[in-house]
Amino acid sequence: MAVAMKSNLGVRINILCPGVVKTNLLSSPNLEDHFGQFSELEGLKEMVLERNDFEVPDDVAKASLILVTDESKNREILKIDADGMEFISLPEPCESSQSASFSATAKTFRADS
């Protein structure tokens, strides 16, 4: 990935990080069929649904289009949660090491759509 990010090969690398997305899976009456050993998290699911703290699939799809269609976006993380969307820039790849320590830059915005 670092090689693709440093080269001029025309490759853009972005990451989409949605929060909890309200899908049919969340409203399934039998979580054990879908989650197996994690079905114990039923209480957490109920808490999220009660707080209305989730994204809808349409919002996630719109956010993915931002990353795909805006060619100026490269090395960006687009975080989506109930508070809106936030871009976080990935650091420049380090030449001497495959891991890097960095301080990310975040830009928060609200989608009007």
Residue 102: pLDDT over 50: no
Q: Going along the chain, which residue ranges are E strands? A: 14-18, 76-81, 84-89, 105-109
- 70-87 tens-digit pLDDT: 999 999 999 998 788 999
Note the pLDDT tens digit of each residue in 18-31. 988 888 776 766 66
**How confident is the model over 31-71, as pLDDT tens digits?**
666 666 766 777 777 777 787 777 889 999 999 999 999 99
